């Protein structure tokens, strides 16, 4: 009832629906639906009338009704630790770009590194029936979490969606996930080799949460490189803890004050490296003259440090884009049993200015 007003500028009290448009255009709502979706032939004349009505009424389709009727949501979900950490925000940017390019909206949520929260968020995305849910970043070796994750992967597969692990290890062969990853161990091995080739022997490994898959792999690559040359990795030269700048700064400071006699630092990521660099600079330690420094990830800021950081390039934004592409490419077998689809993106050493051969005598606090 009620449609004899033309007060186009006043907010309607009753949300305008498709049948309002239909009525005004003098057609059925099916026709309105057809001109909206443009997937069925509609006479140009009718099309015009309908569009006119849509315009007049200021109609905007209800995405939920649409999703319900067509079971197509045109959305993807992404879960990250922290939205301001460049590692994550570049990946989110890639995801948003690709989602947007394929007409999808992007639901993003931050887990703050909390496993339970993460699972809860996945469940909310399942509720949303997103075309994909992308979980980003390393995880902990926790059987219970893996199992719960695997369950979600199955649920998602069951509703025709996909769980993609972006920069996170598999949660089991059985789980129907897709993976977009890169070789952390290999990259770490490569930078370490680089340091060793320059003549470094006493290298400090700094940063990365203990037990986080990403940390674990990077540390493993570091160790393997050292050991393959017969060099020791004394416990006092391995300091883990976190992936942030603050950690790098604080820990590097303490270590420096303890006269470690190191000639190089392998920071677990660029943020840690930036923090460490600060600590060194503040103490008059010159990089790379006194101590060499390498990072990991190659976030754009790294080439803006002084000196520019030598690091391992990880194509963050691409990973985001690939994650949604992979998820949307439906190639799994009929029973959805077989976990298919895995992309390993390339990584490479980026040599800039923070590495040089070691000094004849290691830097020490006093002098």
Residues near DNA, by CB under 7 A: 15, 17-19, 26-31, 33-34, 36-37, 39-43, 45-47, 59, 61-62, 65-66, 68-72
Interface stretch with a copy of itself, choices 62-70, 188-196, 222-230, 355-363 (CB under 8 A): 62-70
Give the whole-angstrom CA distance, residue 260 versus residue 216. 23
**DSSP 8-state symbol, 156:** H
Give the whole-angstrom CA distance, residue 113 versus residue 151. 20
Pick one of 36, 46, 108, 350: the residue that binds a copy of itself (CB under 8 A).
108
User: For the window 118-157, what string marks contact with a copy of itself as x by the rule CB under 8 A?
Assistant: -----xx-xxxx---------------------x--xx-x
Per DSSP, helices labelled H in the chain are 18-25, 29-37, 44-57, 63-70, 86-101, 115-128, 143-158, 184-197, 213-228, 245-257, 270-282, 316-328
Give the whole-angstrom CA distance, residue 248 versus residue 273. 6
Pick one of 32, 35, 49, 110: the residue that binds a copy of itself (CB under 8 A).
110
**DSSP 8-state symbol, 159:** T
Q: State the nearest-atom distance from the C-beta of 35 to DNA, in Å.
A: 8
In the numeric block, the tokens 């959805």 are attached to 336
Select the binding partner of residue 56 from a copy of itself, DNA, none (C-beta < 5 to 8 A, by kind). none
Give the SS3 label for residue 232.
coil
Q: State the nearest-atom distance from the C-beta of 240 to a copy of itself, in Å.
A: 22
Pick one of 3, 259, 281, 364: the residue that binds a copy of itself (CB under 8 A).
281
Q: Which one, of 204, 203, 213, 128, lies nearest residue 179 by Cα?
A: 213
Which H or E run contains 292?
A: strand 292-294
Pick one of 58, 199, 211, 346: the residue that binds a copy of itself (CB under 8 A).
58
Select the binding partner of residue 45 from DNA, a copy of itself, none (C-beta < 5 to 8 A, by kind). DNA
170 contact partners, CB below 8 Å, separation of at least 6: 177, 179, 339
Chain residues 1-30 in contact with a copy of itself, contact rule CB under 8 A: 9-13, 15
Q: State the nearest-atom distance from the C-beta of 38 to DNA, in Å.
A: 10
Q: State the nearest-atom distance from the C-beta of 73 to a copy of itself, in Å.
A: 7
Give the whole-angstrom CA distance, residue 298 versus residue 247. 18
The residue among 31 and 292 lying less far from DNA, judged by its C-beta, is 31
Q: Concatenate the DSSP letters of all residues of 63-130 into one string.
A: HHHHHHHH----EEEEEES-TTSHHHHHHHHHHHHHHHHTT-EEEEEE-TT-HHHHHHHHHHHHHHT-
User: For the window 347-366, what string marks contact with a copy of itself as x by the rule CB under 8 A?
Assistant: --------------------
> Rule CB under 8 A: is residue 89 a binding residue for a copy of itself?
yes
Do 297 and 275 touch, CB atoms closer than 8 A?
no
Pick one of 28, 227, 306, 329: the residue that binds a copy of itself (CB under 8 A).
306
Q: State the nearest-atom distance from the C-beta of 158 to DNA, in Å.
A: 12
Q: State the nearest-atom distance from the C-beta of 126 to a copy of itself, in Å.
A: 5
**Residue ranges that bind a copy of itself, judged by CB under 8 A:** 9-13, 15, 58, 60-68, 73, 75, 82-84, 86, 89-90, 92-93, 96-97, 100, 105-110, 123-124, 126-129, 151, 154-155, 157-159, 176, 245, 274, 278, 281, 301, 304, 306, 336
């Amino acid at each position: 009832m009620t449609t004899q007003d033309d007060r186009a500028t006043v907010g309607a009290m009753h949300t305008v629906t498709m049948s309002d448009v239909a009525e005004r255009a003098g057609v059925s709502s099916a026709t309105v639906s057809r001109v909206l979706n443009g997937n069925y032939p509609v006479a140009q004349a009718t099309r015009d009338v309908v569009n006119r009505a849509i315009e007049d009424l200021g109609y905007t389709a209800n995405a939920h009704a649409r999703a319900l009727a067509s079971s197509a949501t045109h959305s993807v979900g992404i879960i990250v630790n922290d939205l301001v950490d460049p590692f994550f925000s570049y990946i989110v940017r890639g995801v948003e770009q690709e989602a947007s390019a394929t007409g999808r909206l992007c639901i993003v949520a931050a887990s703050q590194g909390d496993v339970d929260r993460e699972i809860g968020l996945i469940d909310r995305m399942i509720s949303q029936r997103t075309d994909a849910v992308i979980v980003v970043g390393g995880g902990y070796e926790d059987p219970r979490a893996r199992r719960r994750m695997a369950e979600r992967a199955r649920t998602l597969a069951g509703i025709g969606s996909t769980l993609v692990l972006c920069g996170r290890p598999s949660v089991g062969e059985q789980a129907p996930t897709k993976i977009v990853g890169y070789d952390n161990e290999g990259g770490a091995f490569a930078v370490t080799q680089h340091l060793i080739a320059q003549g470094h022997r006493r290298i400090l490994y700094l940063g990365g949460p203990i037990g986080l898959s990403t940390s674990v792999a990077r540390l493993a690559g570091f160790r393997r490189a050292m050991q393959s040359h017969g060099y020791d990795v004394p416990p006092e030269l391995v300091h883990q803890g976190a992936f942030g700048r603050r950690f790098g700064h604080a820990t590097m400071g303490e270590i420096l004050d303890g006269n470690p006699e190191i000639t190089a630092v392998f920071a677990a990521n660029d943020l840690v490296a930036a923090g460490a660099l600060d600590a060194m600079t503040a103490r008059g330690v010159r990089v790379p003259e006194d101590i060499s420094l390498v990072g990991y990830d190659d976030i754009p800021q790294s080439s803006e440090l002084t000196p520019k950081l030598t690091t391992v390039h990880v194509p963050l934004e691409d990973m985001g884009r690939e994650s949604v592409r992979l998820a949307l490419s439906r190639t799994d077998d009929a029973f959805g049993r077989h976990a298919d689809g895995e992309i390993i993106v390339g990584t490479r050493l980026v040599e800039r200015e923070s590495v040089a051969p070691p000094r004849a005598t290691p830097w020490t606090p006093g002098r």
